[in-house]
Amino acid sequence: MDYKIIKRDPINVIGVKLQVAEPNQALYQIGQFWETFRKNNVKHQIPNKLHPQETIAVYTNYGPQGEGYSLILGAQVQYIINNIPQGMVGIEIPEQTYAVFSKKGTLPEIIKKTWQEVWKSPIPRAYTYDFEIYKNESLDSAEVEFNIAVRADYTQAG
């Protein structure tokens, strides 16, 4: 897996949140969540998007020993104070170091395959905030940038 190590400034995100309590149900839950996100045109309801064409998927609030996490689907915004539409959440992803890599392919296969690679990789994950930036959401030719939070002392690129 080819990746580079990047330290990112804080990122503000507004979107809708899903709590994944049972990881063995995650694929189904996340698939349904994405479908609802698209059907309800959620991204278009988010004000002050920095990159209107992109969608961001943030994974956070990891439970101990892999017992669930939160997923937020939305967009990167300039600020979140007094800017969150009803039914949505706003988060600030703090400054963090990431293993960053890009993938192209069909959805959702590219996502499943890439996460399987991440889980098997030696990357020392921080389990704080991981996120995917969808440069486009074409089911046949998606372009996705994966940002996997790493421990602060990690500097080796793959």
Domain membership flag for residue 116:
yes
Q: Which helix (H) or strand (E) holds 75?
A: strand 69-77
| pTM, to two decimals | 0.93
CA distances from residue 112 to 10, 84, 108 in whole angstroms, order as listed: 27, 30, 6
Higher pLDDT, 44 or 21: 44
The string of pLDDT tens digits covering residues 41-69 is: 999 999 999 999 999 999 999 976 667 89
Domain membership flag for residue 89:
yes
CA distances from residue 53 to 13, 26, 50, 56, 124 in whole angstroms, order as listed: 14, 26, 9, 10, 31
CA distances from residue 77 to 14, 25, 108, 123, 133 in whole angstroms, order as listed: 7, 30, 25, 29, 13
Q: Domain span at residue 114?
A: 4-149
Domain membership flag for residue 121:
yes
Mean pLDDT of the chain: 91
CATH code assigned at 134: 3.20.80.10
| Domain count across the chain | 1
* Gyration radius of the chain over CA positions: 15
Domain membership flag for residue 120:
yes
Domain membership flag for residue 154:
no
The string of pLDDT tens digits covering residues 73-104 is: 999 999 998 889 999 999 999 999 999 999 99
Domain membership flag for residue 157:
no
Domain membership flag for residue 158:
no
Domain membership flag for residue 71:
yes
